[in-house]
Amino acid sequence: MSGSGTIFEAIAAAGVPVAVVLADRPCRGLALAGSAGAEAVLVDRRDWGGFGASFDRAGFTGAVTAALAGRTVDLVAMAGFGTVLTGSIHDVFGGRIVNTHPSLLPEFPGWHAVADALAAGVPVTGCTVHLATIDLDAGPILAQEEVTVLAGDTVESLHERIKEVERRVYPQTILTLLGQLAGSGTRAAG
């Protein structure tokens, strides 16, 4: 996770068993981990070159993968995690990484989905929960819900309404996926 932690709060409040909260930078979600009985782990991007051209994506992905693989994790739920990972994580967790995205994919993939939807003038956008794959925002869609674009919407106002939907749809989808995985005591990483 990289963001404010509100999606993680919704995941925990929905009763999703969370083993570990992993973040790519210091964030509120790490502080919230303990309240959900989860371990907090920071794999800091700055240790792998930060946010510039020198970022070692493969090395960073290896560190994230190792951190998750060394713990009891059956499903990886990305929540505001702003770093695109390489294929090596999919070698370990393939088909078990889920993500939420603030648009009705395949419309408006990428980091600026809400701004792109406003710029396109669409009357409706929404959120998508999908399996993460090596291709950005292109994995199989598990759930979607529409959000109407209102006159006068800003990126911030529209994104907040999308997050309200995400905070309901994402935990429900995660619980469904966990129920489909074999074994009891299945726990997620956020």
Catalytic: which of 101, 112, 130, 159? 101
Distances in Å between the Cα of 28 and the Cα atoms of 25, 44, 67, 78, 166 are 10, 14, 19, 15, 18
Amino acid identity, position 31:
A
Q: What is the pTM of this model?
A: 0.89
What pLDDT sits at residue 59?
Answer: 97
What pLDDT sits at residue 185?
Answer: 47
CB atoms within 10 A of CB 116: 18
The answer to whether 11 touches 169, Cβ cutoff 8 Å, is no
93-121: pLDDT as tens digits: 999 999 999 999 999 999 999 999 999 99
**The two three-digit tokens of residue 146, written as one number:** 């529409």
Beta bridge partner(s), residue 124: 148
What pLDDT sits at residue 4?
Answer: 75
Neighbour-count burial for 138-170, b at 16+ CB within 10 Å, e otherwise = ebeebebeebebeeebeeeebbebbbebbbebb
Q: Identify the residue with better confidence: 44 or 5.
A: 44
28-78: pLDDT as tens digits: 889 999 888 899 999 999 999 998 999 999 999 999 999 999 898 989 999
In terms of Cα–Cα distance, which of 48, 49, 80, 46 is closest to 63? 48
Is the pLDDT reported for residue 183 higher than 90? no
The answer to whether 68 touches 20, Cβ cutoff 8 Å, is yes
In terms of Cα–Cα distance, which of 158, 128, 157 is closest to 145? 128
* Calpha distance 97→115 (Å, rounded): 25
What pLDDT sits at residue 189?
Answer: 55
Active site residue 101: yes
**Max mean pLDDT range (20-24, 140-144, 186-190):** 140-144
What pLDDT sits at residue 190?
Answer: 56
125-177: pLDDT as tens digits: 999 999 999 998 999 999 999 999 999 999 999 999 999 999 999 999 999 99
The full set of domains in the chain, from first to last, is 1-94 (3.40.50.170), 98-181 (3.40.50.170)
The DSSP-derived string for 161-186 is HHHHHHHHHHHHHHHHHHHHSSSSS-
